[in-house]
A = this chain, B = another copy of it.
Amino acid sequence: MSASPPFARVVIAGIGLIGASLALAIKAGGLARLVVGLDADARVREVAPNLGIVDSIETDPVAAVRGADLVVLAVPVRAMGSLVQAMAPGLAPGTIVTDTGSVKCAVIEAVSPHLPAGVHLVPGHPVAGTEHSGPEAGFAELFRDRWCILAPSEGTDAAAVETVARLWRAVGSDVEVMDPVHHDRVLAITSHLPHAIAYTIVATAADLENQLQILAASADPQKVTTAEVIKYSAGGFRDFTRIAASDPVMWRDVFLTNREAVLEMLGRFTEDLIRLQRAIRWAEADTLEALFRRGREIRRGVVAARQAGRFVYGENGERKDDTTGE
């Protein structure tokens, strides 16, 4: 490691789970001379420096970014445009602006118009997180062995992309560069649809208590209570609730800004679920068994991939050794 850190002044805008974790990882790795926080929430501004997450904290976007070589937007996606507009007077040519949002096209669209000439936008998305929110939930190891996707527009400065890639590698991530449109589709199925389902099923379950069930099979309708659902959640339900605990504002913004891709995935999923429903109604044993066997095969693929990013994939999904070895 060189004597002088790769960054002089890094600004993290939004000290939530992701922002706090990145700040801690940068400090732990000695990657910046100064890590400056920026947050609109007074409670966060008090907590973040006290917990040693940032070296200093700012309320004024212009003051915060002045002299920064890297600005990381870690706020909900729909807040990014106006935030960068507010920062703009402090952004000097050569500064790199990156973000951690779960959608990429909408970020590029919202942020680009406000960037002064010579400021580079490198859209990013660390595919990492926990079900917890807020600065207290942050930890330096969150990004270790995770993928970070960078999704620059055509014509983005290659050196700026490489600088941001180095940062993510330094905090333990494997970096992939992807077209922003493609990113939004991939994440619609791997992350946004699962969240839509998770939020929905917990509501469906809780509603059972609010309504007498009408079950043709029984002359004696009995309510299923939320307490019972919670009590027996080890049967599968619990897996789904973990991601239903994710930050509501962040997820509201994801669904509003990746609408097209999410609506397509929802349509496909619902279609497939209704096919399953029909197979159950008509007692199509072979259809059910075939579908379930296929599910198990796909799961085996997930286990083999270890998610951690140690491998790359061939065109047919076969695992190959990564260029980094192993």
- Tell me the A residues contacting B by CB distance below 8 Å: 102, 105, 127-129, 131, 146-147, 149, 179, 181-182, 185-187, 189-209, 213-218, 220, 222, 224-246, 248-249, 251-252, 255-256, 259-270, 272-274, 276-277, 280-281, 283, 285, 288-289, 291-296, 298-303, 305, 307, 309, 313-317
- Determine the residue in chain B with the shortest Cβ distance to A239: B239
Contact indicator B245/A296 (Cβ below 8 Å): yes
- Determine the residue in chain B with the shortest Cβ distance to A294: B203
Point out the residues of chain B lying under 8 angstroms from A198, CB to CB: 236, 239, 295
Q: Closest CB of chain B to A273's CB: distance in Å?
A: 5
Task: Known contacts A191-B232, A277-B266; decide if A292 and B181 are in contact (CB<8 Å).
Answer: no
Q: Can you identify 30 A-B contacts, CB atoms within 8 angstroms?
A: A105-B217, A131-B299, A179-B222, A181-B218, A185-B213, A185-B222, A186-B232, A190-B228, A190-B236, A191-B237, A193-B237, A194-B235, A196-B276, A198-B295, A199-B295, A203-B298, A204-B265, A217-B260, A225-B315, A227-B316, A227-B317, A230-B313, A238-B302, A239-B239, A241-B298, A241-B299, A242-B299, A248-B293, A259-B281, A270-B273
Contact indicator B228/A204 (Cβ below 8 Å): no
Q: How many copies does the complex hold?
A: 2
Q: Closest CB of chain B to A200's CB: distance in Å?
A: 5
Point out the residues of chain B lying under 8 angstroms from A252, CB to CB: 285, 288-289, 292
Contact indicator B295/A244 (Cβ below 8 Å): yes
Contact indicator A240/B239 (Cβ below 8 Å): yes
Contact indicator B241/A242 (Cβ below 8 Å): no
Contact indicator B280/A274 (Cβ below 8 Å): no
Point out the residues of chain B lying under 8 angstroms from A196, CB to CB: 273, 276-277, 280
CA–CA, A303 to B179, complex, Å? Answer: 38
Point out the residues of chain B lying under 8 angstroms from A285, CB to CB: 252, 256
CA–CA, A262 to B236, complex, Å? Answer: 14
Point out the residues of chain B lying under 8 angstroms from A189, CB to CB: 204-205, 208, 224, 229, 237
Partner of A302, one of B222, B230, B256, B261: B230
